[in-house]
Amino acid sequence: MPKRGYHHGDLRRALVDATLRLIEQKGPTGFTVSEAARDAGVTPAAVYRHFQGREDLIAEAARQGYVRFANILEQAYNDGQPTALAAFEATGRAYLEFARDCPGHYIAMFESGISINRNSDLAHAAQRAMGVLERAAEALSQHIPPHKRPPAAMFSAHIWALSHGVVELFARGSPGTKSPYPPEDLLESGIGIYLRGLGLIPPDE
Amino acid sequence: MPKRGYHHGDLRRALVDATLRLIEQKGPTGFTVSEAARDAGVTPAAVYRHFQGREDLIAEAARQGYVRFANILEQAYNDGQPTALAAFEATGRAYLEFARDCPGHYIAMFESGISINRNSDLAHAAQRAMGVLERAAEALSQHIPPHKRPPAAMFSAHIWALSHGVVELFARGSPGTKSPYPPEDLLESGIGIYLRGLGLIPPDE
DNA sequence: TGTACATCAGTGAACGCGCGTTCACTGATGTAC
DNA sequence: TGTACATCAGTGAACGCGCGTTCACTGATGTAC
């Protein structure tokens, strides 16, 4: 906990952290303002000094998630180095790592029902994250002969959908489903087959 | 509404239907026992004549969903006729149709947090549905040379993840995200590329 | 056919609960002199 | 350095709310004679 300023010192951050912890433990439903306040060692009313209300708190958690997500993806992509293909695969792995390491953020972003357009900060952060994926797809698709090249937006949507599906179905301990394979392997092999289908990886290996 | 038996006639069914409607409209969170009862024209207490409680109601909605899901997939698969490939692709389309036509069921099954192992009826219904997907993958993978054939369970997990991802991210009006393409096209093209990667579709088209 | 009875689906009132939010307040802190 | 003051983060009590669930009950229905 950083320096104590007024009374708490950093209540805003403490509340978001508590929110993330609760969302991770109990899902976006289980989260309550009262409990977040309790976790931060503060009266529920204090929350309203920093947030407009419950939804606003979740939205802030999601926003921070998108910022972090974008950073992680961007770092993994590494400007397409050493090769477009390697950078692309690293980005896919980073997606899964984020979902694993920041489940609270991931849930707030994708399962809380918060609209991305709730406020412009949120929308901007989300756009940036999606932009990284699209740029990675765009760069990689330059290696496909133009006449059989799918639109980059479609390419990137496929990868995003596959990644998200793997997270939701197999990476969470979710609804009694036990994963037949480690999620990482599932995603990596899936992306591999997909890229082979695009002719980006030689058919024999 | 079918024949009136005792007082209501078919309260159990009416409650499940109301539950599905509410889940579809407000998500698994928004659903309440009281409102389902109200929708069915009955006192909240009446619910407890037919279900053990709130979770039990959701579980029944999910169970019915899995039964329907399995039927639809099985019908689409059509015993692998006319060809394993065509049957497989029809199954993928059926997946999306189900998610579109029965959003209440889909949400109860995959987003409500209900464990598949909550009771044996639910577990059995879910197993049957997943079995159809696995069998379709198994049959299709017979056309791949054994040495480059992925395990059928992995194959089917890839397709399931891609389908689920497309539904969650692009088929719902979800969180302000507007789909760049119709979900059907997205799934069909994604599966197409994936199957090409497996050598099940000729690379040129 | 008519009557007496058993069944049990649905009632209505009540419960305790924790929620999100509001309000006038208090008291620790930073600042000006 | 010491005092007076303004600020405003957090308090504590209260609100209205709708929830899930329970309970003794009631009254429509099917059945037995």
In tens, the pLDDT along A190-205 reads 999 999 999 999 876 5
- List chain A domain ranges: 1-51, 54-197
In sign, the C-alpha dihedral spanning B134, B137, B143, B144 is negative
Residue of B117, B157, B189 lying closest to A170 (CB–CB): B157
At A173 the pLDDT is: 66
Q: Give the pLDDT confidence of A82-93 residue by residue, as tens digits.
A: 999 999 999 999
* A177 neighbourhood in chain B, CB within 8 Å: 116
* Cα nearest neighbour of B197 on chain A: A197
Give residues with Cβ within 8 angstroms of B199, minimum separation 6: A203, B144, B145, B148
Q: Report the predicted TM-score, pTM, of the whole model to 2 decimal places.
A: 0.94
* Residue A34 burial class via C-beta count within 10 angstroms: exposed 0-12, middle 13-18, buried 19 and up: exposed
Among candidates A178, A177, A183, which has minimal Cα distance to A163?
A183
At A177 the pLDDT is: 64
Give residues with Cβ within 8 angstroms of B96, minimum separation 6: B163, B166, B167, B171, B183, B184, B187
Q: At the top level of CATH, which class does the domain B54-197 belong to?
A: mainly alpha
Q: At the top level of CATH, which class does the domain B1-51 belong to?
A: mainly alpha
For residue B53, say whether its CB is under 7 Å from any atom of strand C.
no
For residue A111, pLDDT over 60 is answered with: yes
**Which of left, alpha, beta for A57 (phi over 0: left; psi -120 to 50: alpha)?**
alpha
Tens place of pLDDT for every residue, chain B, 205 residues?
Answer: 333 444 677 999 999 999 999 999 998 888 999 999 999 999 999 999 999 999 999 999 999 999 999 999 999 999 999 999 999 999 999 999 999 999 999 999 999 989 999 999 999 999 999 999 999 999 999 999 998 899 999 999 999 999 999 999 999 866 556 778 999 999 999 999 999 999 999 876 5
In whole angstroms, give the CA distance from residue B123 to residue B96. Answer: 22
Q: Which residue type occupies B146?
A: P
B198 and A199 within 8 Å at the Cβ level: the answer is no
In sign, the C-alpha dihedral spanning A76, A84, A167, A20 is positive
In whole angstroms, give the CA distance from residue B23 to residue B18. Answer: 9
* A181 neighbourhood in chain B, CB within 8 Å: 153-154, 157
Among candidates B132, B159, B28, which has minimal Cα distance to A161?
B159
The token pair that represents B139 in the structure block: 């049959």
In whole angstroms, give the CA distance from residue B97 to residue B95. Answer: 5
The protein footprint on chain D, as nucleotides within 7 A of a CB, is 8-14, 18-24, 28-30
* A180 neighbourhood in chain B, CB within 8 Å: 153-154, 157
Average pLDDT for residues A168-186, to the nearest whole number?
A: 82
For residue A187, pLDDT over 70 is answered with: yes
Query: What residues of chain A, 151 to 170, have a C-beta less than 8 Å from chain B?
Result: 153-154, 157-158, 160-166, 168-170
Q: Which residue type occupies B54?
A: R
At B5 the pLDDT is: 41
In this structure, are residues A197 and B196 in contact, taking their beta carbons and an 8 Å threshold? yes
For residue A15, pLDDT over 60 is answered with: yes
Chain A / chain B CB contacts < 8 angstroms: 136
Instruction: Name residues 131-150 of chain A with a Cβ under 7 Å from nucleic strand C.
Output: none
Query: What residues of chain A, 41 to 100, have a C-beta less than 8 Å from chain B?
Result: none
In whole angstroms, give the CA distance from residue B180 to residue B56. Answer: 38
At B172 the pLDDT is: 83
Residue of B148, B160, B176 lying closest to A115 (CB–CB): B176
- Tracing tokens 């849930």 back to the chain, one arrives at A107
Interface test with B, best of A156, A193, A200 (most B CBs within 10 A): A193
CA of A46: nearest nucleotide by C1' is D10
A192 and B197 within 8 Å at the Cβ level: the answer is yes
At B175 the pLDDT is: 55
CA distances from A105 to A91, A159, A167, B174 (A): 18, 20, 13, 17
Query: What is the nearest CA distance from A8 to chain B, expressed in angstroms?
Result: 33
In whole angstroms, give the CA distance from residue A72 to residue A66. Answer: 10
* Cα nearest neighbour of B173 on chain A: A115
At B4 the pLDDT is: 41
Instruction: Give the model's confidence band at A44: pLDDT under 50 very low, under 70 low, under 90 confident, else very high.
Output: very high
At B154 the pLDDT is: 96
B176 and A27 within 8 Å at the Cβ level: the answer is no
At B1 the pLDDT is: 34
In whole angstroms, give the CA distance from residue A186 to residue A129. Answer: 23
For residue A175, pLDDT over 80 is answered with: no
